[in-house]
């Protein structure tokens, strides 16, 4: 096969690639468009086998063109899965957002579609990486009481608005990671180390989730924070043993304080109650004595008034009342000897009483 010494654009006659003869005077000439179209048609006819008849070749070109157009139009059919959202771009600009199902967009390059997964829960690790690799630059933070703590935590998030996620922030995941670390450092900077390592972990997680969600909303990132989970909140490894000793001492101090407070809470109320009882008894005795004295004074004043009104009667009544009080509970025999003409009264001897005392004396002597 002889080697073609002419260039690819030299069809003969010694013409150059732009149809000018070499060495001709006039310089480079512009390409002949009609000549280029004619040659392209001839090559297409030769490929389609239309060299024999021009009509058959034109029909073949038309059929091929229609098939290509149909394929191009059909390429706009797309499907959005249940866990996705369809974001349609028209010449690179956001046009619409479609929900799961079959949809159609104008074929490329007019429209294109992006389908981010909006229900998948994504995970960002801060302070460590899966596999046990530690990241001290991210994990070491300063607490509110100026101690250093080693924090490892995970942020669980998903896409809430696909359009915002794709177009509002250039690097959404990197932005979320930096924002989460900043929020955690702010919270730990207000929290004592003892609270951060014990009962304050749940409060830290909730505060971090709320603050991080607010920050993402302000950025318009289209991100929903599902949870912030603390994986580790411990002092740095070189001082963890000393920190445990300090915690044990603090626990002993709190235990002794609680015991002392419990004892005080038991003794002090009882002492106060006893003091209150004594005070109330003293007040009651005081009121009783004062009332009795006032009553005696009132009674004496009433007797004195009666004495001034009827002296003899009052003296007789006072005598009778006094004798009644003295002789109350004694065996008595009343003899009226004041009547005139009455027989003399024989002296009365209490024989039953004397007989009883004699018998009691005899029994005592016999023993």
Q: How high is the pLDDT of residue 25?
A: 44
Q: How high is the pLDDT of residue 182?
A: 94
| CA–CA gap between residue 312 and residue 333 (Å, rounded) | 26
Spatial CA neighbour of 97 closest among 105, 110, 88, 106:
88
Question: Structure pTM?
Answer: 0.51
| CA–CA gap between residue 39 and residue 17 (Å, rounded) | 14
Q: How high is the pLDDT of residue 29?
A: 54
- Listed as ranges, residues in the chain with pLDDT below 50 are 1-28, 51-52
Domain 122-235 indexed as CATH 3.30.479.30: yes
Residues of the chain with CATH 3.30.479.30: 122-235
Q: How high is the pLDDT of residue 15?
A: 43
Q: How high is the pLDDT of residue 12?
A: 42
């Amino acid at each position: 096969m002889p080697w073609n010494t002419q260039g690819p654009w030299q069809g003969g006659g010694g013409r150059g690639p732009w149809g000018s003869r070499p060495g001709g005077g006039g310089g480079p000439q512009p390409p002949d468009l009609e000549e280029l179209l004619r040659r392209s048609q001839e090559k297409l006819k030769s490929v389609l086998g239309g060299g024999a008849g021009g009509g058959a070749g034109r029909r073949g070109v038309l059929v091929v063109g229609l098939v290509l157009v149909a394929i191009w139009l059909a390429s706009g059919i797309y499907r959005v899965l249940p866990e996705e959202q369809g974001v349609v771009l028209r010449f690179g600009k956001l046009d619409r957002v479609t929900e799961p199902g079959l949809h159609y967009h104008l074929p490329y390059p007019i429209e294109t579609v992006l389908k981010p997964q909006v229900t998948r829960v994504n995970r960002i690790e801060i302070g460590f990486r899966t596999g046990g690799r530690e990241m001290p630059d991210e994990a070491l933070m300063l607490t509110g009481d100026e101690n250093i703590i080693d924090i490892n935590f995970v942020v669980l998030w998903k896409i809430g608005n696909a359009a915002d996620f794709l177009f509002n922030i250039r690097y959404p995941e990197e932005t979320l990671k930096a924002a989460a670390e900043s929020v955690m450092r702010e919270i730990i900077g207000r929290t004592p180390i003892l609270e951060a390592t014990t009962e304050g972990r749940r409060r830290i997680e909730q505060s971090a989730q709320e603050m991080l969600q607010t920050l993402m909303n302000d950025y318009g990132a289209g991100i929903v924070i599902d949870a912030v989970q603390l994986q580790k909140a411990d002092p740095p490894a070189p001082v963890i043993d000393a920190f445990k000793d300090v915690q044990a001492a603090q626990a002993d101090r709190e235990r002794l304080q609680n015991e002392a407070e419990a004892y005080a809470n038991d003794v002090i109320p009882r002492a106060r109650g006893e003091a209150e009882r004594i005070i109330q008894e003293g007040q009651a005795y005081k009121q009783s004595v004062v009332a009795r004295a006032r009553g005696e004074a009132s009674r004496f004043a009433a007797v004195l008034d009666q004495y001034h009104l009827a002296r003899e009667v009052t003296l007789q009544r006072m005598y009778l009342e006094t004798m009644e009080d003295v002789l109350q509970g004694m065996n008595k025999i009343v003899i009226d000897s004041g009547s005139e003409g009455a027989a003399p009264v024989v002296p009365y001897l209490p024989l039953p009483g004397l007989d009883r005392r004699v018998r009691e004396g005899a029994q005592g002597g016999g023993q």
